[in-house]
Structure 1
């Protein structure tokens, strides 16, 4: 199974919406379709703040990964955040997410990213093991905190 990545474009929005809707339902993220579409569309249109890659065949993607970009003085430049990664349940356990999380950071580093971050639910031990296997490490002194605006 190949985890080939395709940069998502506006014409991929409907396929992506189906995947994101499935992920949000699974993760318990409440967001209506208009909010979801409004959040995804600029990423597909090329805004500099992030991007979406479809994983696997473009016509029938196996999943997706959303990256957002920022700047870090601590890490010495542009950094990224894995906002969402999703693999369809029927193809999980085949190494697809592992392949993406090993290969994509190499390409991002080549493009100038200095660090890649993500968050994981403390109760999802299998997901934590995946992230550890792919080189992500917890930052013991730090806790991600958010303030919706």
Structure 2
């Protein structure tokens, strides 16, 4: 199955909102429709801090991936963080997420990106295997920490 990527645009908001709501429900992420819309709309409008790709057919996406961009002295330039990646349950275990996580970083590297990061639940061995197949490696000395503002 092809994991074709389409850069999401403002007209994709409704399709994306449905997918994000499903992901947040599955992962028990507390969010409101308003907060999801407020977070997604600037990305779809072209804010340079991140982007959203629809995975699969643009009219009936199989999932999405959200990237946010930053700058890293350690990695020597622009880096990205996979903020969210979601594949509809009915089409999981077909290699779609792996394909996205292998192909998208290659394309981003051609654009000058130096590193892509993600976080994964320490107990989610299935997700860890997917990420390791795509050559993401744990950074044993580091732990992601957050301060909510």
- The residue number in structure 2 matching 1:70 is 70
1:1-149 maps to which residues of 2 (within 5 A)? 1-149=1-149
- Mapped partners of 1:126, 1:90: distance in 2: 16
Query: What's the secondary structure of 1:90's corresponding residue?
Result: helix
Give the drift of 1:123. 1.1
Alignment length (residue pairs): 149
Query: What's the secondary structure of 1:85's corresponding residue?
Result: strand
- Mapped partners of 1:105, 1:78: distance in 2: 12
Unaligned 5+ runs, structure 1 = none
Unaligned 5+ runs, structure 2 = none
- Mapped partners of 2:137, 2:37: distance in 1: 32
- Mapped partners of 1:28, 1:110: distance in 2: 35
Query: What's the secondary structure of 2:52's corresponding residue?
Result: strand
- Mapped partners of 1:107, 1:148: distance in 2: 32
Q: Deviations over 1:58-112 (max 9, x none)?
A: 1100000000000000000000000000000000000100100010000000011
Give the drift of 1:43. 0.2
Give the drift of 1:33. 0.2
Query: What's the secondary structure of 2:146's corresponding residue?
Result: coil
TM-score of the pair, normalised by structure 1: 0.99
Query: What's the secondary structure of 1:40's corresponding residue?
Result: helix
Query: What's the secondary structure of 1:41's corresponding residue?
Result: helix
- Mapped partners of 1:67, 1:32: distance in 2: 20
Deviating runs (4+, > 4 A) in structure 1? none
Q: Root-mean-square deviation (CA), in Å?
A: 0.3
TM-score of the pair, normalised by structure 2: 0.99
- Mapped partners of 1:141, 1:122: distance in 2: 14
